[in-house]
Every structure is written in structure tokens, then in C-alpha cells.
Amino acid sequence: MKKLRLFFLAFILLALILQSTVVDLFRVYNIKPDLVLLVVIFLGFMYGKRDGMLAGFLGGLFSDLAAGSYIGLNIMSYLAAGYLAGMGENNFYKDNVFVASVICVIGTLLSQLVYYLLLLFLIVDVPVLHGIKIIVGVALYNGFLTLILYRWFYMFFVSKGYLKDVDV
Amino acid sequence: MSDNYKKILIVAIVITLAIFMIRATHLEREITVPEIAFKYIFTPFQMAVVAIENAGKSGISFLISLKDLAEENKKLKEEVRQLRSELAKMEEYKIQNKRLKELLQYKEFTIDNYDLISAGVIGRNPSNWFSTITINRGMQDGIKPNMTVLVPEGLVGRVVIVHSNTAKVLLITDPRMGVGAVVQQTRLPGVVRGVTGSCERLKMLHLPKDTQIKRNQVVVTSGLGGVYPKGIRIGRILKAYNDPSGLFQIAEVEPFVDFKRLEYVFVVTEVYNPEINLLEGME
């Protein structure tokens, strides 16, 4: 189990390194995907609410430390997404890429919405239309990336023997 | 107390604590030990990826050149092809050389007015909501908070957090940023602010309503506020419209700097002549 958590940590850190460096090159209409959130949602969907929240906490904490301000903002938004994705663990087929993609879109929508609401609370000026553009844009981008990356991610954990319920 | 109530109570406590923590950790504050430790561990990985990214960019342009050459060289022998490949490499060096020369000229041009330190961009803000970058210069290089960061094209932002070897720069496209500015042609004062989720648009606020604002007018720093030197180019006006209160106008400004492709920047460590107008100088 410890090794599994190390994999969690490794994937989150890898996603964060890419997110804070090269991902900016892949902006579409000024929106970039959120790779850390993607990993959090994948892990939540594959391992359940508890592990989803653990991944959300770690991903959020490291993202906040990398951003250098408002420590807790990403923790809260990723926690919500990890928990939501974890709710799908026992209710859907985990090997289905399209189901994972829908979960990812919904999880990202929730996470970005929490982020937006917290920004309003912090009195950061975000016009509503811009907020909606980011929330929906990131959700769609992440949903699209899930179609490409989820299968590979899922098979990695299956091949290592770390999936509780192998549906393949 | 039932389990449900307990859960709700725990969630409420966690949210309250989180909100306190978020509020307490705004951008301009003393950095804490865990943050410094994280930066120490994380930065080398960022630098490695950025180095690969830059090598990749050169590699791609090199490959494109190679493809072009292959078409030209169908009739030529292997030896000539080798030479062509060398030429492609030279071309890449030439472009790089030209870019570095421009940076150097800019540095020489500003030498009497500013003391500049060049810095490489090694990290960007992970989220879509804020715009910050991390540069590979820090306290050891004499970088201090509030120093102006610019490139030959115009203003980039200001330093907000300084670590020993790195520093965080708040870009002018960040919604938390405000820059005292004037429209260069008419000297109309205003404040330039970032727009969330957009690195291609800025807003110039508090422009007097009874004045005419034209497309393509240039916006430069006003020097008011004491953070930014006067006369640094910011962007050009695209359009203007009345603000919701009806008392002022808001201008949409396109920044001169391409924030998506920032690789190198200059940090102004000393200002000798605050009255310089860089636009006139560059032209």
C-alpha cells in the first residue's frame, strides 16, 4: 500500500512539473488543461473517495506551494474533485474511457467552480464571463485529455497489480 | 451526536480553517520555511524540464530545416547533404544570435538609465486563474521585491517573492496587478489591470469619460506609485467603452509582450534616470 501511495505522489509531482513548465505551450483559446487535477480525478475514480481526497490534498498542497500564494485554494478545489470522482468508484465501470471522461468533466467543473467561488470570497476581480470560460474550458480540455491518457494510466496501475477491482 | 452531524461539523471546521489559511497566505508576505523547502526540491526539476523544452524547440526547428533541405537535396550527394545540415544548424545559431544581440543592444541602450540583470524563465503558474512566472535569479543576484521586470518589447511585471536562487514575478496580466499608466499620445492617466485567464488582453481603467481614445494609441507606465520607472511600453489600445458606473471609460489594451513565449527577461535592479521614455529610445 505504501508503494501505491508513492505512485500517487510520483504522478502528482510529475503532473505538477509539466503543469508549471511546458503545459503553457498547449493553450487553446488561452485555456490550458489542469494535469494535476486530471491525476487527482483518475486516482479518485480508480481508488475511491478516501484515496481521491488524499490525492486531492497532496495535489492541491503542492500546486499551492508552486503557485506561491493563497495556500489552501487548490487544496479545497482538488479535494472536492477527488471526493466526487471517488463517488463513482463503485458505481461505474472503471475501464471505460468515456465514463472516465464524463467523470473528469464533472469533477473539473466542480473543482474550478469551488476555486472561482473562493476567489470571489478573496475579492479577486474575476468577471463572470471569464470565470465561466475558464471553468467550462478547463473541463472540456481535461475531458478530452482523459480520452487520450486514461487508458494508459489505468493499465499502468493494473499492470502493477494495484487496482482493487480489475474490470479488464 | 449522530454520525451525519459529526461529518458536517468536521467539514465546516476544515472549510473555516482553509479559508483562514487562504486569506493569510496572500502573495505579498514573508515566505515560510515549508515553502522555501518545497522550492529547493522542486526548482531543479522545473529547470530540467525547461531545459528539455528549449532543446526540443531548437530540435523541432532544426528538423523542419532538415525536411526543407531534404527536398532541395534530392539531386545532391551525401556530402552536400551533410553540408546543408550544417547550414541549417548555422541558421538556427544565426537566429539565436540575432535574438541575443537584440537583447544585448537593449541592455546597452538602457545602460545609462537602468541596471539590468537578465534572467531565464523556469516556471509558470500552474493554474488558469493567475499569471506568475518563476525566474532563475534570486536574493544572491541582488533581486528584491517590487523590482520591475521587462523585455525589449515592454513591461512584464514586478518581483513579488524572492528566494535565494529564484524569484516569483507577478505579470501585468494577473488580475491582482495594477500599473499606473498613461496614454502616450494624450497623456491621459489610468490604471492598467490584468484580466483573469487572458494573457493577450489588459484593461485600462479610470480613463476620463470626456476624452477621445483612439485605436492603436500606445500605453506606457506613468511612474506614479514609485514601483515602475516612467515610460515603459505596456501595450496598444484596441477599443474603449464606458464603465458600468458611467463616470469613466475602460480601454481594452493588447500587451506588446507575448506572455506565452517568455523565455528570458530583464530585472531592473537600479534606475538612474527615471524620466527616460523607452519608446522614443527604441525608435
Chain B neighbors of A34, CB-CB under 8 A: 126-128
At residue A106, the 3 state secondary structure works out as helix
Instruction: Calculate mean pLDDT across residues B70-84.
Output: 67
pLDDT at B279: 45
Q: How many CA atoms lie within 13 A of A89 on its CB side?
A: 22
d(CA B123, CA B37): 17
> Could you tell me if the ipTM is greater than 0.85?
no
Q: How large a percentage of chain B has pLDDT more than 90?
A: 22
| pLDDT(B283) > 60 | no
Query: Using the 8-state DSSP alphabet, how is residue B149 labeled?
Result: E
Model confidence band, residue B54 (pLDDT cutoffs 50, 70, 90): confident
A126/B175 Cβ within 8 A: yes
At residue B216, the 3 state secondary structure works out as coil
Instruction: Calculate mean pLDDT across residues A62-86.
Output: 91
Query: A53 and chain B: CB distance < 8 Å anywhere?
Result: no
Instruction: Calculate mean pLDDT across residues B270-283.
Output: 54
d(CA A87, CA B216): 53
- Of A87-91, A112-116, B196-200, B233-237, the one with minimum mean pLDDT is B196-200
The shortest C-alpha distance from B74 to chain A (Å) reads 34
Matching residue, cell 481594452: B252
d(CA B238, CA B201): 9
Q: How large a percentage of chain B has pLDDT more than 70?
A: 86
d(CA B228, CA B240): 24
Instruction: Calculate mean pLDDT across residues B192-209.
Output: 86
**Model-wide pTM > 0.80:** no
Model confidence band, residue A99 (pLDDT cutoffs 50, 70, 90): very high
d(CA B11, CA A90): 23
Chain segment B103-161, per-residue pLDDT in tens: 776 666 665 677 888 899 998 888 888 889 999 999 999 999 999 999 888 899 999 98
d(CA A162, CA B283): 63
Q: Of A131, A39, A48, A105, which Cα lies nearest the Cα of A78?
A: A39
Pick the residue with more confidence: B109 or B91? Answer: B91
pLDDT at B125: 87
- Would you tell me which residues 82-121 of chain A have a C-beta closer than 8 angstroms to some C-beta of chain B? 115-116, 118-119, 121
Residue B243's contacts (CB-CB under 8 Å, 6 or more residues apart) are B205, B249, B250
d(CA B173, CA A26): 18
CB B176 within 8 A of CB B27: yes
| pLDDT(B76) > 80 | no
pLDDT at B81: 59
Instruction: Calculate mean pLDDT across residues B206-228.
Output: 86
For chain B, the average pLDDT equals 82
d(CA A163, CA B67): 45
A65/B197 Cβ within 8 A: no
